[in-house]
Amino acid sequence: MDPWLLRMVGVVLLGGLLGILNSTMAAVATGTLAEAFGTSLSTVGWTSTGFLLAVTATIPFTTWAVDRFGGRRLWLIGLLLFLAGSLGAGLAWNVGSLIAFRVLQGFGAGLLDPLVLILLARAAGPRRAGRVMGLMGVVLSLGPVLGPIAGGAVLDSLPWRWMFLLSVPFGAVAYLLALRVIPADGRGGEGQGRLDVLGLALLGPGFAAVVLALSQVAEQGAVAAWQALLPLGAGAVLLLGYAVHALRARQGAPSGGGPLIDLRLFVNRGFSASVTIMGLGGMALFAALFALPLHYQQAHGHGVLAAGLLMAPLGLGGAVAMPLAGRLSDRVGARGLASGGAIVSLLSGLAFTRIGTDTPEVWPALAAFAFGLGSGCFSAPTMGSLYRTLPPPLVAQGSSVLYMLNQLGAALGVALVTLILQTAGDAITGFHGVFWLAVAAIAIVLAAIPLLPGRPKAVAQPVSEDLARTS
């Protein structure tokens, strides 16, 4: 890999890591923030929910804006929004201002997160997609694990405000490096039609409403609670409305017009398989990320920081596997590597269902490492194959779909895990139930892998030239 591309990958991943770390760090501080502001846990929970909803609602806009304003310019705007939100959250004077600044952070992260995929996919090209997605996977694997560790360390030694203020100097460095390294791509304003305002009004809020419904399922502990059913119904109506609008807009699209995301992407079985695998893989991974710390705290009596440190093998497994699997997939294709990884994850998930309260901690640590290793072996090749199936004009749309469905999978995983834990008779039964859920998700992943494209040299262009041109 040439030096420029390595610098580009490093700078983009530094910016992308900010959102992942900040989100997961804040999740461990709910009790501390409730005490600091003298409010309820449910109110403080909106600091995380508001961030997540802002991210989800912004992603569809990024699909259009990256070609309208250029990837470099949009990346710098996203960093500035995230920095402003971080500074404001660190200086928040009440819980309302904290929620507002976390939403601002979410708007910034909603620009940055899909742009990580878009910028790297465009810079790498189809031939190097696997190895670059593998390097990006290191951040995706370590970020959710390092966040709770960093959050616990900050809360143990510093005031809670530093969880947000520490992002400011790191974000400033990421901004300055981006100015030097990320090239102007010459796309701003070129070849991009008018914004699909109706599509944006339907798609962003629709996905955000579904994510809100899933978070309310987790908070209320019941699927039938009105707090979950109301946003779920609204989200379903909005997404159905977008589907009707997108099909109509595609048929009568003027030059450069058309829907925000063309639904004909899903006609390509390789694309549909890729986003399905990543969504279900995200659900299984977040189920493990949610359940393992609780197991260490409830079964072994560890604190937040110690439980976070014991989570490290899960992220380490993914960080080891993703670069290697991604690089290999550029040569041998995705199917064999992804199948092997899914089998390893499946077996390690089954191992978790045999763990009891008296099991030495070394065994869940080894199982977590194997689970992360297997997840990395199917995630990086799958992402690489997705970008090998898309022509350049459709990279932004494909990235947005992938990220939104991954977010949806993570939210669904957390909601289902919460329900399982709340309805189980005891902690260890709930823990086993969570990993049976993960095993079921990985089994579906294993069934979908044969639909991925074959060896890179044999991959024909699966998306019609007309679709690529008109999008």
CATH number, residue 454: 1.20.1250.20
Q: Please indicate, yes or no, whether residues 338 and 417 belong to a single structural domain of this protein.
A: yes
Question: 225: burial class by Cβ within 10 Å (0-12, 13-18, 19+)?
Answer: middle
**Separation CA 216–CA 406 (nearest Å):** 18
Question: 127: burial class by Cβ within 10 Å (0-12, 13-18, 19+)?
Answer: exposed
Residue-by-residue DSSP string for 370-427 = HHHHHHHHHHHHHHHHHHHHS-GGGHHHHHHHHHHHHHHHHHHHHHHHHHHHHHSSSH
Buried b (16+ CB within 10 A) or exposed e, 187-215: bbeeebbeebeebbbbbbbbbbbbbbbbb
Q: Please indicate, yes or no, whether residues 251 and 120 belong to a single structural domain of this protein.
A: no
Handedness of CA 360, 363, 365, 371 (dihedral sign): negative
- How many domains is the chain built from? 3
Report the amino acid identity of residue 388: R
pLDDT value of position 87: 94
Last residue of a domain, one of 193, 218, 244: 193
Q: Please indicate, yes or no, whether residues 228 and 370 belong to a single structural domain of this protein.
A: no
pLDDT by residue for the chain (471 residues), tens digit each? 567 777 887 888 888 888 777 777 776 777 788 888 888 767 877 887 788 888 888 888 888 888 888 888 999 999 999 999 999 999 999 989 999 999 999 899 889 888 888 888 777 776 776 777 777 777 776 777 777 777 777 877 888 899 889 889 988 999 999 888 888 765 544 445 677 888 888 888 888 888 888 878 777 777 777 888 898 899 899 999 988 888 887 655 554 457 778 888 888 888 888 889 988 988 888 888 878 887 887 777 777 677 777 888 888 888 888 888 888 887 887 888 889 999 999 999 999 999 888 888 888 889 999 999 999 888 888 888 877 777 777 777 887 888 888 777 777 877 788 788 877 778 888 889 989 999 999 999 999 999 887 666 544 444 444 444 434
Q: Please indicate, yes or no, whether residues 226 and 370 belong to a single structural domain of this protein.
A: no
What's the pTM? 0.79
Q: Please indicate, yes or no, whether residues 277 and 222 belong to a single structural domain of this protein.
A: no
Q: Please indicate, yes or no, whether residues 13 and 114 belong to a single structural domain of this protein.
A: yes
Q: Please indicate, yes or no, whether residues 70 and 207 belong to a single structural domain of this protein.
A: no
Q: Please indicate, yes or no, whether residues 161 and 112 belong to a single structural domain of this protein.
A: yes
**Separation CA 327–CA 445 (nearest Å):** 21
Q: Please indicate, yes or no, whether residues 184 and 202 belong to a single structural domain of this protein.
A: no
80 three-class SS: helix
Q: Please indicate, yes or no, whether residues 114 and 43 belong to a single structural domain of this protein.
A: yes
Last residue of a domain, one of 152, 169, 193: 193
**Domain range holding 226?**
197-259
Q: Please indicate, yes or no, whether residues 180 and 218 belong to a single structural domain of this protein.
A: no
Last residue of a domain, one of 226, 244, 259: 259
Q: Please indicate, yes or no, whether residues 287 and 302 belong to a single structural domain of this protein.
A: yes
**Separation CA 123–CA 471 (nearest Å):** 20
Question: 156: burial class by Cβ within 10 Å (0-12, 13-18, 19+)?
Answer: exposed
What length is written for the chain? 471
- Asked if 207 and 239 count as a contact pair (C-beta separation under 8 A), the reply is yes
